[in-house]
Amino acid sequence: MRISGVAWRWVDGRVAALLLALLLFLSPRRSLAENRFEYRYEDYSEDRGRMQVQTHSVWFEYDLHEKVVARGSYVNDALAGATPTGGPGYPGQEFETVRMKDRRDAGFIETAVRAGRTLTTPQISYSEESDYRSIGLSLTEAIDFNQRNTTLVLGVARNFDEVSGFWQRQSRYKGTLDFLIGVNQVLGPRTVATLNLTLGYADGYLTDPYKGINFFQDLPPFGPYDPQDPNLDPVPYGASAPERRPSHKFRQVVLGSLTHYFAAVNAGTEASYRFHHDDWGVIAHTLQGVWNQKVGKRVVLSPLVRYHRQSAADFYRLRVNSDPGFGAGRLAFTPDNFFYAQEGDGVFESDVLTDPDSFLIVTVPAAPDAYSADYRLSELETWTVGMGMTVQLHDRVALQLAYKRYVMKGRDGVTPAGIYPDAHIMTVGLSANF
């Protein structure tokens, strides 16, 4: 939901979008851009009413000069519903959830300046929620070669974020730095290929402040949890402590796409593959295909299918076998199951170790350095299938309608199946050239 990496999305998609628009005769092409305004409404609704996100967005492109174009966007999101905390469910529940409600305002402004064979695009973006604030800066350089049949794209982006939430009441810093190098190649009068490599580094508070984890250590033969001593043997359900992710992440992303126009059927298609790897142990593959079929003079139908599969993060687990109140070490209990002493407190050494046969001694495992029960870091796969339709209402006005079905499934055989969301996504948009 954050507005980060806007420049990258523009670089990845602009060649394909411009080619399809040209090939399908949806709009004429000018020297650098055409003054354009778009409005879009999108409704994301998860099954069983779990979470709903309603998004209003506007986007514009305006010629300031024959070689200078200004672009900008404003996005307003409203979300409400329930989200899994990461903790196991209470009796009768598959997993624990917490209710959420928030709004987000975000946007960006950029200028694209043409100088000879070079297009320079600086951008600034901003996003704000009740618990998240982000400022982003980026610079993209597109250099044409080979009579503009080859374009080298270089980019750098830096985000400065402040994060807070349920487990983190005070704002914490989070930063990201991304570098992009890409090539857009015209392979023929009807075919364009794109290949991009992105290297990204994030540091600071990378934990989700709304996700927790269950600390639970079974202590037989000492019996059930004692509510009079909440630090001892925590309850085996609910999130009892915040998750903890590494404070840095290095990721590498390779994206390749091929766009082609089929003159015989008056249609265009784009197929893409995205490979993701990071030092959290996540390896992901994403395949997507879009077919744009022109029907008559004013309608374009666009069926879409997208498949994503990823491995789990190295530190993903459903619970932590430890005790946040005691940490690693040994505990001593009296024969009637009452806690007596902890290793290192002096009493353990003076009383327990001198007479170990009079006590029951249990070792509490140390908690790992990082842990998260966030299902989004588990081994999973997603499918997105849908249909879009563009109707040219006027030479300069177009209506966009789309429906997509989103399905997520776990693949580890351990994470509760119901925790993975399925959703309906409906979009209505209106664009105008002027």
What are the structural domains of the chain?
6-328+365-433 (2.40.160.50)
Model pLDDT for residues 305-346, shown as the tens digit of each residue: 999 999 999 999 999 988 877 777 888 888 877 788 889 899
Q: What is the pLDDT of residue 107?
A: 98
What is the rounded average pLDDT of the residues 378-401? 97
What is the rounded average pLDDT of the residues 260-279? 97
Q: What is the pLDDT of residue 10?
A: 33
Evaluate if residue 6 carries a pLDDT over 50: no
Q: Is residue 365 very low, low, confident or very high in pLDDT (cuts 50, 70, 90)?
A: confident
Q: What is the pLDDT of residue 91?
A: 87
Q: What percent of the chain has pLDDT over 70?
A: 88
SS3 sequence, 209-247?
A: CCCEEEECCCCCCCCCCCCCCCCCCCCCCCCCEECECCC
Taking residue 295's Cβ as centre, other Cβ atoms within 10 Å add up to: 12
CA 142 to the chain's CA centroid: 26
What is the rounded average pLDDT of the residues 250-268? 97
Q: Is residue 16 very low, low, confident or very high in pLDDT (cuts 50, 70, 90)?
A: very low
What is the rounded average pLDDT of the residues 92-111? 95
What is the rounded average pLDDT of the residues 206-235? 72
Q: What is the pLDDT of residue 226?
A: 57
Mean pLDDT (the chain, rounded): 89
Q: Is residue 222 very low, low, confident or very high in pLDDT (cuts 50, 70, 90)?
A: low
Q: What is the pLDDT of residue 224?
A: 52
The full DSSP string for 142-179 is EEEETTTTEEEEEEEEEEEEEE--SS--S-EEEEEEEE
Q: Is residue 388 very low, low, confident or very high in pLDDT (cuts 50, 70, 90)?
A: very high
Lowest-pLDDT choice from 27-36, 131-140, 288-297, 405-414: 27-36
Lowest-pLDDT choice from 1-5, 115-119, 210-214, 249-253: 1-5
The residue with greater pLDDT, 165 or 363, is 165
Say if CB 53 and CB 427 are below 8 A apart.
no
The residue with greater pLDDT, 23 or 128, is 128
Three-class SS state of 199? strand
The amino acid sitting at 140 is T
Q: Is residue 383 very low, low, confident or very high in pLDDT (cuts 50, 70, 90)?
A: very high
The residue with greater pLDDT, 91 or 232, is 91
- According to DSSP, the β-strands at 212-215 and 319-320 are parallel
Evaluate if residue 404 carries a pLDDT over 70: yes
Q: What is the pLDDT of residue 324?
A: 74
